Amino acid sequence: VLGETWRDRGYGGRALENFQHAVVLAEPAHQQASLVWSWVGVAQGHLLRGDGDEAAVALAHADEVGDSPVGTSAATRERTRAWLTACRGDLPAARTHVAAIADAMQSDGVIVFEAVLRHDLVRFGDAAAAVGRLAELAAVIEGPWIRVMADHALAVASHDAALLQLAVDQFEAIDSIVFGAEAALELAELHRQAGQPRPAAAAERRAQRLI
C-alpha cells in the first residue's frame, strides 16, 4: 500500500523500494496475490523512473507468477502493460489497451480504478475520449484527486490554458507531482502553439522543478 501511495504521488524511487520489499516478503510466504501485485508495482516504479527495460523484466516476473485471485490485480497488471507500451512509443496501442481495461472496470463497477484508467487516456493523448466520463465520475467519487483529473481532461480537450494552469496548481497542491509535471509540459506546449514563448518557458521551468 505504501508503494501504491508513493507511485500515485509520482515518487518512482520510493515506490520501487516499497514494492521490492513486498516481493521479498511475499515470495517465501507463498502469497501469490501479493507477489503478483508487488512485481507489477516494481514495474510501475521503474516506468516512473523512465526505465522500460527493467519494467519489462519485472512485468515478466509478474506473468510468471500467474493470475491473482484479486480482480483489480489483473487490471493493474494490464494497466502497467499499457504504460510499458507507451514508454516504447506506441501511444495508439497504449490507448486501445487502457480503454479496454477501463471499460471492464466500468462494467464491474470499480469506478475509482476506472477513473485513473480514463485519466491515462488523457495522459496518452486522447482527452476527448475521457473527458465526459471523468466528469461523471468526479460527480460521484469523493475527494479532490478524481476531480482534478476531470479538470485536467477538460482543460486539455478544450485547449484552455487557464484551466490547465489550474490543474497544474491542483495536482501540486495534493502532491500528485508526476501528473502536475505532465500537465505543466502540456501547458508549455499550448503556450508555444499560441506564440507565447515567455509563459511557455515558465511552464517548462515549473515542470522541471516538479520533476
pLDDT by residue (tens digit) across 84-135?
A: 999 999 999 999 999 999 999 999 999 999 999 999 999 999 999 999 999 9
Count CB neighbours of 112 within 10 A: 14
Predicted structure pTM score:
0.92
CA separation for the pair 63, 16 (Å, rounded): 18
pLDDT at 5: 93
Per residue, what are the HEC states of 146-181? HHHHHHHHHHHHHCCHHHHHHHHHHHHHCCCHHHHH
What are 23-65's pLDDT values in tens digits? 999 989 988 888 999 999 999 999 999 999 999 999 999 999 8
Selection from 68, 11, 8, 5 nearest residue 39 by Cα: 68
Q: 142, 101, 150: which is closest to 122 by C-alpha?
A: 150
